[in-house]
Structure 1
Amino acid sequence: MKKIIVLAMAVSLTATVISCKKGAEKISSAVLNLGGETEANSIIDFNNNFVDSYKNTSKHIERILKYTEEAVVKSKGGNVMIMPVIISSMDYTLSKIKEVPSGFGKDKAAIEADFNTYKAKKENIEKKLEELKSYMNSEDYKDDKGAKAESIKKEIESDANVLYAAGESVMAKIKPATDAAEEIILKDHPMKEYIISSKNVMNSLDSVIDLLGKQYEGKFNEAEAQKKYDEFVKLVEANSKMDFNVKDQQYSYKKSQFEGFNKAASNFVDNYRKLIRDSKEAGKIPDNNIQQMDSSYETVLSAYNTFVK
């Protein structure tokens, strides 16, 4: 099956509407000269595997950082009811990446450098976590009053910052070629119209999340929130009205996934409407509403990625 771009979190990779790209023909031609559809698929595979790895790794590191915070508190005599449980995660998608595709052209070396930094810091964080676990389980903090826990915490935080920077850099560098590669694949893809329409929805969704994030940190602006709501609803309704009629039978099962994506987007609309009402009454966006929107966004994103895979 032809590969389509998998999207990451809004903070990492914003969906790009293919018909609106600037300079896409130039980039697309460069990819075509390096192997056409085969090279395009290699680029998209790299993108999809890295996106999956970066998403899962980011969540895993968040849990690790929480563990280090609690470890420092406990090792210094503070009250910690239950230490967080951190289970080692197997990054299968990262292991699928054997090399950086040549289709990235002049950016290949820079991508490799960031990618290698990402892998090195990821590995180092895991090693430091195991060292901290051993230290806490053996209660060695009773000998140094938590000094080592504090030291490891700082090392993990430093490595995490470098990993995030490297991950974001990889995302930024691979995006132009990945968009161009998808354009090649979509040229005669049986689901082209449904994918492009759904990416329009994701574009709008990312814009919504960006606005709500700013308003959550600042002041709630009902007019701005309502405007984004109206724009998003219009796209969701248009996408939901599309009759999924793909003649190629190998894509027939995608109909239920397309409908699942639209249902998830519609649920987001319901939560968004509730957020506007609650925020208007409170004068700011309540914590529970922003958490609900974050969870709902992840559901829509997951449904989209399932549909286009």
Structure 2
Amino acid sequence: MKKIVSTALFAATITLTTLSCKKETTTTADGKEIVAVDNAEDANAIIEFNNSLLDKRDRRASTLTKISNYINNLPNYIAGKTPVLIAPIAMIDMSKAVEAPDALGKNKEEVKTLVAASKDKFDALKKKTDELVAYVKAEDYKDDNSAKATALIAEITKLAEEYNANEKKLSGIMTPIADGAEAIVLKDHPLKDYIIGSKGVLNDSEKLLDAIDNQVISNKFDMAAFKKQYADLETVVKANAAREFKVDDTSYSNKKGYYDSFNKEADEFLGAVRKVMRDAEGSGKFTEQQAEEVYNAYDNLLSNYNNFVG
């Protein structure tokens, strides 16, 4: 199953002045029109809403990882090779529900539809997982030679794929809108260039994660395309590290250490990717274990980013 990762947008804590501009639309790379945020009030509404989506996505990603581990360990448990099988327990979602703001304009209804669809898919996935856990706990696999387990796993996998596809559509709409909102929030912020540059590193890192996931899921190996993505990321990482940290506002002087730590972690992330590339090139495929190695390195990178912008 694909693990979903996300970056938390920079939280706006600085005083903002409302800009008076005409609201227009912009076009994404795939030709889709989205609303371009044009004032601070709308920007803050967009950021709050998007952060709530990212928080929920992270919580669900944790549950998906537990479900994936459960399913992967199930065959050995049934075969008696593993004495303990830990049932996946979903995290209780205590996050505040944030309604899609009017600032989304023409995109609001589609976003609401996609958010509802993700919830439905995820709830259905959890229900099927609970059914699988109950089936295994009762050892009913001894009666049907694991036939029901096989069927349930197929349903769970299909729902997970549909959930991920839906989240990809949602992200495709929200990411450029949220990036525009963030640019307005950061318009006069002393750390604007450093934050936007670092977020670019994260965005390109996530593209690599997606590439590994897609190759694992499709079982199609394209090292040439992956190396091209790696080279693009390496260029962005080097450019961000080369940017001299220099701000006039001394209250942000302590951020230099966090910025340097982020860039150091970005370099270590590149190292983790190179190791996986080397192994994959030798075997002719990416494995789930290799994907997990890169995810762990990315988690460290994301943690350092959050420390920098926090």
Same structural fold, with TM-score higher than 0.5 when normalized by the shorter chain: yes
Distance 2:178 2:224 in 1: 36
**Matched residue, 2:162:** 162
Distance 1:294 1:163 in 2: 19
**Matched residue, 1:48:** 51
> Residue 247 of structure 1: which of 246, 249, 252 is its match?
249
Q: Cα distance 1:223–1:96, how it changes in 2: closer, same or farther (>3 A)? A: closer
1:179 maps to amino acid: D
Q: CA deviation at 1:165?
A: 1.4
Q: CA deviation at 1:274?
A: 6.0
Q: CA deviation at 1:104?
A: 1.2
Distance 2:162 2:281 in 1: 41
> Residue 218 of structure 1: which of 222, 236, 240 is its match?
222
CA contact (8 A) 1:67 1:86 kept: yes
Paired residues, number: 281
2:305 maps to amino acid: Y
The 5 A counterparts of 1:51-200 are 51-68=54-71, 70-71=73-74, 78-90=79-91, 92=93, 95-200=95-200
Q: Cα distance 1:82–1:40, how it changes in 2: closer, same or farther (>3 A)? A: farther
Q: CA deviation at 1:91?
A: 5.3
**Matched residue, 1:234:** 238
Task: Name the SS for the 1:105 alignment partner.
Answer: helix
Q: Cα distance 1:181–1:91, how it changes in 2: closer, same or farther (>3 A)? A: farther
After superposition, give the CA deviation of every residue in 1:19-68 in whole Å (9 maximum; x if it has no partner): xxxxx983498533xxx323211211222232233244234324313423
2:267 maps to amino acid: S
Q: CA deviation at 1:290?
A: 6.6
CA contact (8 A) 2:40 2:185 kept: yes
CA contact (8 A) 1:275 1:289 kept: yes
Q: Cα distance 1:183–1:229, how it changes in 2: closer, same or farther (>3 A)? A: closer
TM-score by length of 1: 0.71
Distance 2:119 2:211 in 1: 32
2:235 maps to amino acid: E
Q: Which has the higher helix share?
A: 1
**Matched residue, 1:308:** 309
CA contact (8 A) 2:100 2:112 kept: yes
Q: Cα distance 1:252–1:85, how it changes in 2: closer, same or farther (>3 A)? A: farther
Task: Name the SS for the 2:100 alignment partner.
Answer: coil
Consecutive unaligned residues of structure 2, counting only runs of 5 or more, are 10-21, 27-34
**Matched residue, 1:21:** none
Task: Name the SS for the 2:40 alignment partner.
Answer: helix
Judge which range, 265-274 or 281-290, deviates more.
281-290
Q: CA deviation at 1:236?
A: 4.0
Q: CA deviation at 1:185?
A: 0.6
Q: CA deviation at 1:224?
A: 5.4
Task: Name the SS for the 1:189 alignment partner.
Answer: coil
CA contact (8 A) 2:245 2:256 kept: no
Query: Is 1:31 equivalent to 2:37 in the alignment?
Result: yes
Judge which range, 216-225 or 138-147, deviates more.
216-225
**Matched residue, 2:19:** none
Distance 1:222 1:179 in 2: 25
CA contact (8 A) 2:208 2:226 kept: no
1:247 maps to amino acid: D
CA contact (8 A) 1:68 1:153 kept: yes
TM-score by length of 2: 0.71
Q: CA deviation at 1:170?
A: 0.8
Q: Cα distance 1:61–1:224, how it changes in 2: closer, same or farther (>3 A)? A: closer
Q: CA deviation at 1:200?
A: 4.0
RMSD: 4.1
Distance 2:230 2:161 in 1: 35
Q: Cα distance 1:246–1:281, how it changes in 2: closer, same or farther (>3 A)? A: same
Task: Name the SS for the 2:37 alignment partner.
Answer: helix
Q: Cα distance 1:182–1:155, how it changes in 2: closer, same or farther (>3 A)? A: same
1:178 maps to amino acid: A
Distance 1:305 1:85 in 2: 31
CA contact (8 A) 2:141 2:149 kept: yes
Distance 2:182 2:250 in 1: 19
Distance 2:308 2:74 in 1: 41
- Percent identical residues: 29
